[in-house]
A and B are shown apart, each in its own frame.
Chain A
Amino acid sequence: MTHGRPWFRIGALALGFLFLYLPIVLLIAFSFNRSRLVTVWGGFSTHWYGALFRNQQILDAAWLSVKVAAISATFAVALGTLAGMVLTRFGPFKGRTLLSGMTAAPLVMPEVITGLSLLLLFVTMEQLIGWPQGRGVTTIIIAHVTFTMAFVAVIVQSRLTQMDDSLEEAALDLGARPAKVFFVITLPIILPALISGWLLAFTLSLDDLVITSFVAGPGSSTLPMVVFSKVRLGVSPDINALATIMISIVAIGVVIAGFWMTHQQKVRDRDAQMALAANQDLIESLKKG
C-alpha cells in the first residue's frame, strides 16, 4: 500500500533525521578532537575524556545527579502508577477532574513557573513548620518526583487502557482481593510501562536544570547546573566528552530496553494465541463429547 509518493516520504524522513542527528553526531566526533578549539579538527585523541575524569567538580555533581535521579524515579513510579491506576480503573469519583488535571498539567507547565512555585512553597513551609530546613537534596528530590510522576502516570494510563481488563475482572469474580489482583495480575502486565516510566523519570531528573536551580541549596549543585555554568562561559571540549558518554549510555539502554520489550510482547502474544487455541480445543472436545 503506497499512499502518496514514496520519494516525498523518504525525503521528509531523511531531512528530518538529518536535522535531529547531525548536531549529536558532530558533538560526538569533536569529543575525540585533539585541538582545544572545539570546531577545528586537530587529529584523534581521547585527551578530553581523561580531563573529564580528573575534574572532581563534574564527577561530584554527576554522582549527586545520579543519586537524586534514582531516588526520584523510584518515588515517581510509585506515585505515578497509583495516579494512573486511580484514573483508569476507579471509575468516576468526586475530584477526578482535578486529579486528571493535576497529572496532565506538569507535562506542559513551563519550568520557570514550576520551579518558582515549588521554591516559594518550601520557603513558606520552613517559616510555618520548620521543614524542610534550607534547601538541598531533599527539596530537589521532592520537586523532581512531582514533575516526573506526571510522565509516569501518562505511560501507565495508556498501558492500562490498552490492556485487556477481563483478567482482572475474572480474578475479582473468583474472589481475589483487589490488592492481590493488583500485585498478581495488573502489575506484571504493566511492568514494561513501569520500566519505561522509571527510565524516563530517571533521564528527566538527571537532565533538569531550571526547576533544580530554583530549589537547590548552596551545597547541592547537580550535573546540569555545573554544565550550564561552564557552557555559559563558552564551549569546552570536556563537555563534549561528557555528552558523548551520556548519549552512549542512554542510546544503549534504550535500544536494549526496546529489544527486550519487543521480545516480551512476542512471548505474550504467543502465550495468548496458545491460550486461545487451547480454549478452542476444549470447546471442540466439549461439543463432541
Chain B
Amino acid sequence: MSEAGPIVLMGSVPPPARPQSMLGRWWRRLQPRGTTLVTSIPYLWLLLFFLLPFIIVLKISFSDTQIAMPPYQPLFSWAADQVVQVKLHLSNFAFLVEDDLYWRSYLTSITVAAVSTLLCLLIGYPMAYAIARSNPATRNILLLLVILPFWTSFLLRVYAWIGLLKNNGFINNFLLKLGVIDQPIQMLQTDFAVYIGIVYSYLPFMILPLYANLEKLDLTLLEAAADLGSRPWESFLKITLPLSLPGIIAGCMLVFIPAVGEFVIPSLLGDPGMLMIGKVLWTEFFNNRDWPVASAVAIALLLFLVIPIMMYQRTQESASGGGLHR
C-alpha cells in the first residue's frame, strides 16, 4: 500500500505469519513470560467479549421464552440428586423453518447483498484500476478522496440520500424542472433506494482492497503481452483480471458479509414492508422482545456467513503470503 499514513486502512493485507522469523525467536527466547503476558491481554479480551458472546447466543437460541427479565428460561437447571438437567428447545429453530417470513427475509437479504456487491464491483473496479494507473502524486489525492466519505458518518451519509430520493426531493425536482417527467417518481422506500444506499456506503470497502492488489501488478507482464501482439482488452482479461482475483474476493466479502445483516439502510431508505434479516432480528429483539428467536435468527445468519467469512480470511492470509516483495 501507499506510504501516506491514513491511507493504510482496509485495503492493506494483514501480515504474513512470520514462521521462522529470527525476530520472533528473539522476542520469545528473551522473555517467555513477558510474551505470554503481552499475548494474553488482547487474547483474553477477545475471548471474553467476542467469542464467549456467540456461545451465549447459541445457548439462548435453545431456550424457551418467558415473560421476565431476562425474557428466557435457563437452559441448565438443577434437578433432583444434583443432576444437571438440560432442556434443549429446538422450537425456535423449528419456528424459523416453518414460518416462511424468515425464509423470505433470508432470501431477500442474500439477493440484495449479492446484487449490491456485484454493482460495487462494477463501479469500484474501474475506479480502483484508474487510481492504480495514475501517477503517484495524484494517486494519493484520489485515494484520500475514496477514503474521506468512509471517515464521515455512515448514518448521515445514508440520511443524505433521503433528501435526494424523496418524492419532492432533489432528483425529482430536477427532473420535473427539466420536463423529463411530469410527476415525481417514487424512489424512496423502494428496493432501488436500498441498492443505492448499500452501494454508496460500501463502495470504499470494494475500492481499497482492489487498489491494493492492482497497485502491485507487474506492468512488465502487460508490456510483454502488448509486444507479443495482444490487444489491451485481451491483456486485461487474460492477465490483469485473473491476477486481481484475490483483491476481487476480498472486496466482495467486505461488502457482501456486512450487507447481508444491514439494518440502517433498509430501515431508512427501504419499503417498511421490505424484509431484510437484520431488520427482522432487530424487530424480534426490540419490538417483540423475543430474545430466544432473535438469537436463533442470529445463529442461522452466522451459520450462513461462516463460509464467506472463512473465504475472506483465506484470501487475506494467502494474499499476504504471496504478495510480499518488499
A positions within 8 Å CB-CB of B: 1, 3-5, 8-10, 12-13, 16-17, 19-24, 26-27, 30, 37-40, 79-80, 82-93, 95-96, 99-114, 116-118, 120-121, 123-124, 127, 142-143, 145-146, 149, 151, 153-155, 157-162, 165, 168-169, 172, 177-179, 192-193, 195-196, 199-200, 203, 206-207, 209-210, 213-214, 224, 227-228, 231-232, 235, 239-240, 242-243, 246-247, 250-251, 254-255, 257-258, 260-262, 264-265
Per-residue contact bits, chain B 25-62, to A (CB 8 Å; 1 contact, 0 not): 11110110011001101110111011111101100100
B6 close to A254 (CB less than 8 A): yes
Whether the pair A10, B130 counts as a contact (CB closer than 8 A) is yes
Across-interface contacts of B169 in A (CB, < 8 A)? 39
CA distance A100 to B120 in the complex (A): 27
B23 touches A155 (CB 8 A): no
Q: Are B28 and A90 in contact (CB under 8 A)?
A: yes
Which B residues are in CB contact (< 8 Å) with A228?
155, 264
Is there contact, CB below 8 Å, between A162 and B326?
A: yes
Kindly report which residue of chain A lies nearest to residue B35, judged by CB atoms. Answer: A90
Is B15 a contact partner of A87 (Cβ separation < 8 A)?
Answer: yes
- Report the minimal beta-carbon distance from A144 to chain B, rounded to whole angstroms: 11
**New A-B contacts (13) at CB < 8 Å, excluding given A21-B145, A155-B8:** A5-B232, A19-B203, A39-B168, A100-B14, A113-B301, A162-B326, A172-B23, A231-B155, A246-B153, A250-B152, A254-B151, A258-B5, A258-B6
Kindly provide the distance from the CB of A193 to the nearest chain B CB, expressed in whole angstroms.
7
Contacts of B192 in A (CB 8 A): none
Offer 17 A-B interface pairs, CB within 8 angstroms, sorted by A.
A4-B232, A16-B127, A27-B159, A37-B168, A39-B168, A39-B169, A83-B46, A86-B43, A93-B28, A100-B313, A109-B257, A109-B258, A110-B261, A117-B56, A192-B5, A200-B9, A210-B278
CB-defined contacts of B211 to chain A, threshold 8 Å: none
Chain B residues with Cβ under 8 A from A96's Cβ?
17
Of all chain A residues, the one with the shortest Cβ separation from B268 is A231
Partner of A3, one of B39, B126, B133, B282: B133
The interface on chain B, measured as residues whose beta carbon lies within 8 A of the other chain's beta carbons, has a size of 120
B291 sits at the interface (CB 8 A): yes
Please determine whether A19 and B152 come into contact, CB atoms closer than 8 angstroms. no
Residues of A within 8 A of B131 (CB): 13
Contact B159 A239 (CB under 8 A): yes
**B144, CB-defined interface residue at 8 Å:** yes
Chain A CB within 8 A of B253 CB: yes
The CB with the most chain A CB atoms within 10 A, among B28, B52, B56, is that of B56
Q: Quick check: A146 and B200 within 8 Å, CB to CB? A: no
**B158-205 CB contacts (< 8 Å) to partner A:** 159-164, 166, 168-170, 173, 200, 203
A158 in contact with B18 given A24-B160, A120-B57, A178-B27 (CB within 8 Å): no
Given A12-B130, A265-B4, residue A110 in contact with residue B56 (CB < 8 A): no
Q: Complex: how many Å from CA A261 to CA B140? A: 12
**B264 near A209 (CB under 8 angstroms)?**
yes
Check B102 for interface membership: any CB of A closer than 8 A.
Answer: no
- Shortest C-beta distance, B236 to chain A (Å), equals 7
Q: Which of B18, B26, B34, B257 contacts A172 (CB 8 A)?
A: B26
**Closest chain B residue to A260 by CB distance?**
B5
Is B100 an interface position by the 8 A CB rule? no
Q: Are A95 and B151 in contact, CB atoms less than 8 angstroms apart?
A: no
Q: Which of B3, B46, B54, B222 neighbours the largest number of chain A CB atoms within 10 Å of its CB?
A: B46
Chain B residues with CB under 8 A of A103: 42, 46
Task: Please state if B166 and A39 are interface contacts (CB–CB under 8 Å).
Answer: yes
Q: How far is the CB of B30 from chain A (nearest CB, A)?
A: 5
Question: Which of A24, A40, A106 counts the most B-chain CB atoms under 10 A from its CB?
Answer: A24
Query: Chain A contacts of B14 at CB under 8 A?
Result: 87, 100, 104, 154, 157-158
Contact A89 B301 (CB under 8 A): no
* A161-B159 in contact given A20-B203, A120-B60, A250-B151 (Cβ < 8 Å): no
Q: Which residues from A are CB-within-8-Å of B52? A: 121
- Quick one: which of A107, A151, A169, A246 contacts B26, CB cutoff 8 A? A169
Q: Quick check: is B275 within 8 A (CB to CB) of the other chain?
A: no
Q: Could you tell me the distance in whole angstroms from the C-beta of A271 to the nearest C-beta in chain B?
A: 14
In the complex, what residues of B have CB within 8 A of residue A247's CB?
A: 152-153, 156
Q: Assuming the A-B contacts A9-B134, A104-B312, A160-B15, are A110 and B153 also in contact, with contact meaning beta carbons closer than 8 angstroms in the complex? A: no
| A82→B38 contact, CB < 8 A | yes
- Per the bound structure, the CA–CA distance linking A85 and B41 in Å amounts to 12
Give B45 Cβ to nearest chain A Cβ, in Å: 6
B247 to chain A, nearest CB (A): 15
Q: Identify the 10 closest CB pairs spanning chains A and B, nearest first.
A: A110-B261, A91-B24, A261-B5, A158-B12, A117-B53, A12-B126, A9-B130, A23-B160, A83-B42, A192-B5
**Cα(A105)–Cα(B309), bound, Å:** 7
User: How far apart are B142's CB and chain A's nearest CB, in angstroms?
Assistant: 7
B110 interface contact, C-beta 8 A: no
CB-based contact B46/A232 at 8 Å: no
Contact A112 B278 (CB under 8 A): yes
- Partner of A251 from the list B23, B146, B148, B282 (CB cut-off 8 Å) is B148
- Specify which chain B residues have a CB less than 8 angstroms from the CB of A118 in the assembled complex: 49, 53
Q: Which residues of A contact B163 (CB under 8 A)?
A: 23, 26-27, 30, 38-39, 235, 240
